[in-house]
């Protein structure tokens, strides 16, 4: 583990001015870990179009390296181009390009545009202006036809011009290492950064994991379900996720991308336990 380890932090756009203030403070504290970039999620369907862009441009004014997530959702090309223009003007140099998921209730509004098409669109209109990150799924995307098909579509995103990938979170390092091997066999040689989800509120995590196809190992689930004191959850969560990060880095992962949930402590505690030089 060296300072060559690329660290990045993901935020979601808060709905209230108080949430935004808290986010800016979180960002300042996490700066201690010298992240390569922060990223801000985007509600496909345009639900956070303004807030995501606002937070991104505000942080850019402070000179922060920041990557907006972007997807077509139900938007037309002009709307996406206008956002790209705005990001270019703000000096943004990295985008996380996604298909996204429609917020519930908006499912029938539009056909989602696959991420490889968005990557090709961004390259067509902005050349090499942006470093493009895409999503990868070591435990395979829940809608994928089958394992190899999902890897084939990931390859399609790189062929369209993506530079690197950030993974969905997982708690089984073997899933990641096996996935890397399969990606290599499929001709993918770009870096694939594991996504790390600290464990805080286990009930919420279990619900969310079910929807996004991330598996929580049975022993961990059963142990977490047996706790009534949140402090026990926090302690075991810290231990398990720190071990996971160590295993990933020792096994050659090029860095770590943290799903911070806009909180400092769960992520900072893991990083301090890892003591990256
Ligand atoms: P794609 O790569 O387009 O894949 C979607 C599905 O379609 C997969 O099952 C794939 O196998 C299949 N597929 C891919 N390409 C094709 C093709 N050309 N033809 C046929 N099938 C294809 N969601 C949000 O709404 N906002 C966010 O900000 C956000 N940030 C995320 C960040 C990360 C790091 C990750 C891992 C996920 C994030 N998500 C976000 C969730 C993501 O949008 C969902 O998982 C979504 O369902 C898939 O997006 P994708 O870009 O991976 O899609």
**Is the shortest distance between the CB of 49 and ligand 1 below 6 Å?**
no
109 Cα to the center of ligand 1, angstroms: 17
Annotated catalytic residues are 10
> Each residue of 149-202: pLDDT tens digit?
999 999 999 999 999 999 999 999 999 999 999 999 999 999 999 999 999 999
What backbone phi and psi angles, to 5 degrees, belong to 188? Answer: -90, 120
Q: Residues 118-138: pLDDT tens digits?
A: 999 999 999 999 999 999 999
Residue with tokens 């639900």: 47
151 lines ligand 1 (CB under 6 A): no
pLDDT band at 1 (very low <50, low <70, confident <90, very high): very low
Q: Model-level pTM greater than 0.85?
A: yes
- How far away, in angstroms, is 73 Cα from ligand 1 center? 11
Q: Is 47 exposed, middle or buried (CB count within 10 Å of its CB: 0-12, 13-18, 19+)?
A: middle
- Distance (angstroms) between ligand 1 centre and the Cα of 112 equals 10
Q: In 3D, which of 169, 172, 259 has the Cα closest to residue 217?
A: 172
Give the residue extent of every domain in the chain.
6-273
Ligand 1 atom with least separation from CA of 152: 11
Q: What is the DSSP string of 178-218?
A: HHHHHHHHTT--S-EEEEE---S-HHHHHHHHHHHTPPPPH
Ligand 1 centre to CA of 99 (Å) is 5
Across residues 234-252, what is the average pLDDT? 97
The Cα 222–Cα 99 span in angstroms is: 33
115 in ligand 1 pocket by Cβ < 6 Å?
yes
Question: Around 267, how many Cα atoms within 13 Å sit in the side-chain half-sphere?
Answer: 25
Q: Check if 166 has its Cβ closer than 6 Å to any atom of ligand 1.
A: yes
Q: Which CATH architecture has domain 6-273?
A: Alpha-Beta Barrel (3.20)
Tell me, using a 6 A CB cutoff, whether residue 66 lines ligand 1. Answer: no
Measured CA to CA, the distance from residue 114 to residue 203 in angstroms comes to: 31
- CB of 133 within 6 A of ligand 1: the answer is no
Atom number in ligand 1 closest to CA 41: 28
Over the stretch 16-67, which tens digit does the pLDDT of each residue have? 999 999 999 999 999 999 999 999 999 977 788 899 999 999 999 989 999 9
């Amino acid at each position: 583990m060296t300072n060559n380890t690329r660290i990045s932090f993901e935020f979601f756009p808060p709905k209230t001015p108080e949430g935004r203030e808290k986010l800016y403070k979180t960002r300042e504290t996490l700066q201690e870990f010298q992240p390569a970039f922060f990223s801000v999620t985007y509600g496909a369907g345009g639900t956070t179009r303004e807030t995501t862009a606002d937070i991104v441009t505000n942080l850019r004014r402070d000179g922060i390296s920041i990557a907006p997530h972007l997807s077509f959702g139900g938007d037309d090309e002009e709307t996406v181009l206008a956002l790209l223009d705005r990001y270019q003007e703000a000096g943004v140099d990295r985008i996380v390009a996604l298909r996204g998921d429609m917020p519930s209730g908006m499912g029938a509004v539009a056909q989602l545009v696959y991420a490889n098409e968005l990557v090709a669109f961004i390259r067509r209109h902005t050349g090499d202006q942006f470093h493009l990150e895409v999503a990868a799924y070591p435990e395979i995307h829940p809608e994928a036809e089958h394992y190899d098909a999902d890897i084939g579509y990931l390859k399609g995103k790189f062929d369209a011009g993506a530079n690197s990938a950030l993974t969905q979170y997982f708690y089984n390092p073997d899933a990641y290492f096996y996935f890397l091997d399969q990606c290599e066999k499929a001709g993918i040689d770009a870096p694939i950064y594991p996504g790390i989800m600290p464990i805080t509120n286990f009930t919420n995590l279990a619900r969310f994991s079910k929807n996004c196809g991330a598996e929580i190992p049975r022993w961990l689930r059963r142990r977490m379900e047996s706790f009534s004191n949140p402090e026990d959850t926090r302690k075991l969560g810290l231990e398990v996720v720190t071990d996971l990060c160590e295993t990933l880095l020792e096994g050659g992962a090029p860095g770590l991308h943290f799903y911070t949930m806009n909180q400092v402590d769960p992520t900072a505690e893991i990083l301090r336990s890892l003591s990256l030089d």
